Chains A and B, each alone.
Chain A
Amino acid sequence: MADWIGQTEDIVYSGRIKVPYEWSVGETGSRFLVALRDEKKILGTFCGRCQMVFVPPRKVCGRCFNADMEWRELGPQGTLITYTVPRYKESIHPLSHPFGYGIILLDGATTGLVHLLGGFDGGGLQTGIRVEAVFREQRKGDILDIMYFKPV
């Protein structure tokens, strides 16, 4: 091995990738987000063959490929299937502590919705408790129009 190996200062180059995107939400997703924004309603889609109500709504049932899905209004209450309360701070967190993440089985749905939990003092969460959607005042047509789900 050459004698200079291990004798050199290790240079580290710092960079950052920041690239804008314009993601099309599609017709099915757009109807879901418009209903959140304009009516404070959570919509899902129902596959009659599988007897499944999906939220977020699917254009096509991924299980049986049925494209004939029906719209259903869900919630705004539901049951907490699982949850966690992060204790670290990260720039991507949309709420300040204490907040949680949960999977909520909305009334009328058969799949869970992953979302934020808020409006609690850090404790009191438990699998199986009832939670309710709290909507943002100034809604913009994105998933954060539901600010969080809070224990009922």
Chain B
Amino acid sequence: MERVAIIGVGQTKYERRKKGETFSDMVYEVTVKALEDAGLTIQDIDNVVTVSNDFWDGRTISSMAVQDACGSRHKDISTVEGDGLFGAFYGAMRILSGSFSTTLVVAHNKCSQSRMNLITNAMFDPIYSRSLGLDAITSAAMQARAYMDTFGVTEEQCARVSVKNHRNAMDNPLAQLPMEITVKHVMESRVLSDPIKLLDASPITDGAAAVILANERAAQKARGRPVWIRGMGHCCDAYHLGDRDLARSPALRKAAQKAYSMAGILDPKAELQTIELYDAFSYMELMWLEGLGICEEGGAGRLTDSGFTAPDGPLPVNRSGGCLSAHPVVVAGLTRLIEASLQVRNDAGARQVPDCRTALAHGINGPCGQSHCVMVVGR
């Protein structure tokens, strides 16, 4: 089968508010960075996938508003309204179809420009759930409680994820919230919706990210050494929260199994050198590690306590700082893929994981991780 490579990546700095920049300004910045990284020009791109969300952008067909900025005029352009890793998944599928050789995938969001609680309230069913006033925080808080009650995971164990990832962000010049904090800081931070506290939650972030994907032939034209997508999978759970077992993530388990089987990975805990996963809240890192099969259900708190996922541990997780340190919604999964690719390229600077040959990127979409996308990348 044809292989798909990641030949160029670009990210903005992630910030609380990019007051002087439009969506297009950000998209242009990362498109140019990704082209420079790949050693290509915009003429080398034969199709574009944009990733954006109409509610966040405050307009319909938000993808079209960035057309000039991503150079898609008179080209084949398609769009994903969801997380950016799903955009990369779709971009890779377009190459595997045989119709395209070089795909630009670009995602943008400015979460500062509207109200997170109101926007995320709109993901719930207008007839049965929306008028209850649920949002991303209160729905996640119910999942956190279900997970912690089912397996006896403690708030301190979740807090340790936040401490680790904010510390990791100190090695990432693009991160929004590099911080040296302690478990005590997290535990004493303001309760948003119990058991979730301010420092268990990811921030409001503006930013954009882009990757250039290529088939084997086009990848040879690229300047640097390509990073290969070795496996990918995605899977979706039920929409109604009450239909799901919120303490577990069977959809992630299936998505990961597909990606592992495609990549020929039998023991992910031993064969991956780093993981970049979607930690919108601290408890999510623990749940997703279990869904990814890194440990048994309910065991990720103890795994984290042991230092297994620490930067100097056997399997560093979210070495970039993760979503807890910068969370541009819909961009963040693509950020995970870029960070995983930089690790495999040995280009991750101060946050480089030693001898990183194979890395995993993970993205989610929908309330409480309804849908999961997993991508395994390697040299």
Contacts and interface: CB of A to CB of B under 8 A. Distances in A.
Contacts of B137: 86, 88
Nearest to B149: A127
Contacts of A15: 58
A60 interface: no
B214 interface: no
B141 to A, nearest CB: 4
A94 interface: yes
B131 A21 contact: no
Given A82-B246, A87-B191, A88-B192, A62 B126 contact: no
A84 interface: yes
Contacts of B193: 84-88, 101
B124 to A, nearest CB: 8
B12 interface: no
Given A10-B19, A90-B117, A143 B146 contact: no
A82 B145 CA distance: 6
Contacts of A54: 243
18 contacts: A8-B20, A12-B19, A17-B58, A81-B146, A84-B141, A84-B193, A88-B137, A88-B193, A91-B118, A92-B117, A94-B131, A94-B132, A101-B138, A103-B242, A115-B132, A127-B145, A143-B129, A144-B131
A55 B192 contact: no
Contact of B192 (A10, A82, A87, A93): A87
For chain A, the bracket of interface size reads: 35 or more
A112 B138 contact: no
A12 B192 CA distance: 29
A109 to B, nearest CB: 9
B143 A143 contact: no
Q: Which of A10, A25, A54, A90 gathers most chain B CB within 10 Å?
A: A90
Contacts of B138: 84, 86, 101
Given A86-B137, A92-B118, A144-B131, A101 B58 contact: no
Nearest to B55: A17
Given A21-B126, A90-B135, A114-B134, A62 B238 contact: yes
B69 interface: no
A97 B145 CA distance: 20
Nearest to B19: A10
Contacts of B149: 82, 127
A143 B240 contact: no
A91 to B, nearest CB: 8
Interface of B: 19-20, 58, 117-118, 121, 126-129, 131-135, 137-139, 141-146, 149, 190-196, 238, 240-243, 246
Contact of A111 (B143, B192, B195, B240): B240
A116 B129 CA distance: 10
B101 to A, nearest CB: 33
A87 B195 CA distance: 11
Contact of B194 (A12, A17, A85): A85
Nearest to A82: B146
Contacts of B195: 84
Given A82-B143, A143-B127, A114 B238 contact: no
A103 B131 contact: no
A29 interface: yes
B132 A87 contact: no
Contact of B242 (A29, A112, A116): A112
A115 B133 CA distance: 10
Nearest to A54: B243
Contacts of A127: 145-146, 149
B283 to A, nearest CB: 12
A65 to B, nearest CB: 14
Given A92-B135, A93-B133, A101 B142 contact: yes
Interface string A33-68: 000000000000000000000111000001000000
Given A10-B20, A90-B118, 19 more contacts: A23-B126, A81-B146, A82-B142, A82-B146, A82-B149, A86-B141, A92-B117, A101-B134, A103-B146, A103-B241, A103-B246, A111-B240, A111-B242, A114-B129, A115-B132, A127-B149, A143-B127, A143-B129, A143-B131
